A and B are shown apart, each in its own frame.
Chain A
């Protein structure tokens, strides 16, 4: 048998070399940048087409985005098991077409893209199309007439007309005629707006796309209103009336044609799951062709579905937090309440941001301790008492969220990211500590835990750490080796240099 010392050295060495070697290969050969340089905000958009088939041949056509407004597509991926699939060019539009003989159960098709906004350009110029007046009932016509006359009277140009109209339709107390139109139309507000514009002889069209929100699932398509003012096109947001293309709006389709057509099915819907990653510009540039060249890239985190990528983004930071805890406990000797509680608190801090998180945590635990001190008089069994604390913590969180929402402090809503059970146990342990060893020890351990949590948070949110863990997950293997090696450390802890300070006295 090999001595355990050699074994540890061997295992750690192999792990260390494996991680570093793979990283070196990825940087030198595949061109992954080791350091985060210039960053690009890359959005992964997973489109989910779901529908219920009828008993007949199916054809699903999805108009693909063209990359307008500076949005550049870097990767496209279709999931279509069991379907015939093709992508066709139809008068400067790309259309994905899934076909199948028949199907007997509801199904879902996926289309995933990765895109980033290379430049913030506006939409290209195009001649306005001929205006088609809306066909209306006589009473609608009269209302429309009055609305347009009113708007014309109060506006000086096409731009002001449009802005005024959008405001008018979004007002809380509606004008009678507008209310009538909204009530009788069987369509969304954007359609009404387009009809009003058409009735007023203003060339206008719909621009559809996705309002991007990180981590959002089940986002649906939304519309902007585009108006031609005689010389060029101007975009308007249909609720805020803000002109111009919003920064986080991915333009999918310009014009009024349908994006999704399902023949042979019903109840079809198009939903999006969104995730934003800050990726180094160089990675973004090379991603497209590398993906085809090297299988290894296909085994990176990027190959996972969007939702899992989001989970891994934080999960991959946990080992780094664990390393911080190991370091602070074995080298420094900070006492914490619960070994890995600080890492979980640090994870919550990532969601809440540091200062808000600290304030929330301290207030939550303080109120919890106060209530717990009252509970100790009720003489409950331990399990029941901890459960009571759990429920109290949840109620506190709900109260926090409600009160802060009403007061307009939206940061405090993130209180839900704190791990409830862990907080409850922390409160229970600290309260016992208070009774047994006094408030001094509570301050030492509570302060120690918070200090470790803050340090873990600071390390975990460092840009280079985020960059390395996400782009080079194999480095975690090396990190494992480091932790194994630290596990064999028999030297003194920093706290011991303080603890035994009185030995230094000359006798």
Chain B
């Protein structure tokens, strides 16, 4: 027998459903013309630099098929990098190269790729295989984040990132997404990454989920998530809030990574953030979004909004 949760219980907990997210939030708060800045990662990067938001360094862009052969020259002195579709979605088409061994490129999962594999991946991406609506796309190559060793045990074969949902400039919910072997080093929950909900006040872990089920420990490293606490929490929330201001979107998700040398950085933005974050936080978004409306009215100032969010969305200590 399949166990289901009753819709009444979901409503009581304030869980946001897919239909309501699409119609009530994305459709209402996000103007279509503002999407460009978010869906196009190069535009995001440019805007972020203009707004003094740190981002991973851009190594190069490949716009046309004939440029594909230049990729080797472009990557000649790079040992680690990330190849991404500029307009990709859901983590599709992201290739993470951690090191090189002779002519071979080694991904974070240890798979060895030749340069012809890289070229094929790039031309597929250019043709729009991984992009929203299958349009022609461009390829960007950027620096691989050197993540804080603090997270090493929590994320397997991949960089963990912190997803913050921001509504009207107020950060409302956050989780850290940890790669697993099953997710191929990617931090996308639907590909099998672990999502750990974070207390808005402190950055402490609340609950961990993988494939929509609650888990206690990382499936690959076996480390328990109870003790996880994200450092520099205020800086992360502030960064997320600044991203929201930059885009003009009323409802968005910011993916923030933690570079060992440069601190929190904006990795990418998402105008249609997923809903699993609610499971990881064991808490619905609807009540918090309503509260965010109020905070946005009360506090015109960014730091004040972040402070109020931390105060009102705090989770009582489990102990």
Contacts and interface: CB of A to CB of B under 8 A. Distances in A.
A104 B249 CA distance: 70
Interface in A472-507: 488-494, 496-505, 507
Contacts of B103: none
Interface of A: 330, 333, 379, 381-383, 432, 436-437, 488-494, 496-505, 507
B213 A497 contact: no
Given A496-B18, A497-B7, A502 B279 contact: yes
Contacts of B278: 500, 503
A435 B244 CA distance: 34
Nearest to B24: A490
A498 B13 CA distance: 15
Nearest to A378: B120
Given A382-B128, A432-B129, A436-B92, A502 B120 contact: no
Q: Interface residues of B toward A: which range?
A: 35 or more
A493 B4 contact: no
B36 interface: no
Kindly name the residue among B17, B128, B213 whose own CB sees the greatest number of chain A CB atoms within 10 A: B17
A492 B5 CA distance: 11
B273 to A, nearest CB: 15
Given A379-B120, A382-B128, A493-B19, 19 more contacts: A379-B116, A381-B127, A383-B127, A437-B191, A488-B23, A490-B24, A491-B17, A492-B7, A494-B4, A496-B275, A497-B5, A497-B6, A498-B2, A499-B212, A501-B212, A502-B212, A503-B10, A504-B6, A504-B9
Contacts of A500: 5, 10, 15, 212, 278-279
A383 B129 CA distance: 10
Given A432-B129, A490-B23, A500-B10, A333 B5 contact: no
11 contacts: A379-B119, A381-B123, A381-B127, A382-B127, A488-B23, A491-B17, A492-B19, A494-B4, A497-B7, A503-B15, A504-B5
B194 to A, nearest CB: 14
B51 interface: no
Contacts of B20: 490-491
A493 B282 contact: no
A507 B279 CA distance: 13
Interface of B: 2-7, 9-10, 13, 15, 17-20, 23-24, 65, 92-93, 116, 119-120, 123-124, 127-129, 191, 209, 212-214, 275-276, 278-279, 282
A333 B18 CA distance: 9
Given A379-B120, A436-B92, A501 B3 contact: yes
B42 to A, nearest CB: 21
B18 A502 contact: no
A381 B10 contact: no
A137 to B, nearest CB: 74
B19 A490 contact: yes
Contacts of B17: 490-493, 496
| Smallest CB-CB A-B distances: 3 pairs | A382-B127, A490-B20, A497-B4
A436 B121 CA distance: 12
A264 to B, nearest CB: 60
Nearest to A486: B19
B56 to A, nearest CB: 22
A501 B123 contact: no
A381 B6 CA distance: 48
A321 B231 CA distance: 52
B209 to A, nearest CB: 7
A382 B6 CA distance: 45
Contacts of B214: 502, 505
A507 B7 CA distance: 18
A501 B120 contact: no
B281 to A, nearest CB: 10
B15 A381 contact: no
A112 B224 CA distance: 80
B238 to A, nearest CB: 30
A432 B120 CA distance: 13
Contacts of A333: 18
Nearest to A425: B134
B15 to A, nearest CB: 6
Nearest to A496: B17
B136 to A, nearest CB: 9
Contacts of A497: 4-7, 10
B9 A503 contact: yes
Given A491-B19, A493-B18, A503-B15, A382 B124 contact: yes
A402 B128 CA distance: 36
Contacts of B120: 379
Contacts of A437: 191
A492 B4 contact: no
B18 A503 contact: no
Q: Which of A379, A488, A502, A505 has the most CB of B within 10 A?
A: A502
A140 to B, nearest CB: 72
A347 B7 CA distance: 34
Nearest to A377: B120
A437 B10 CA distance: 29
B257 to A, nearest CB: 22
B158 to A, nearest CB: 15
Given A381-B123, A381-B127, A382-B124, A501 B4 contact: yes
B285 to A, nearest CB: 12
A492 B129 contact: no
Nearest to B13: A503
Contact of B5 (A383, A491, A501, A507): A501
Contacts of B127: 381-383
A379 to B, nearest CB: 5
Contacts of A488: 23
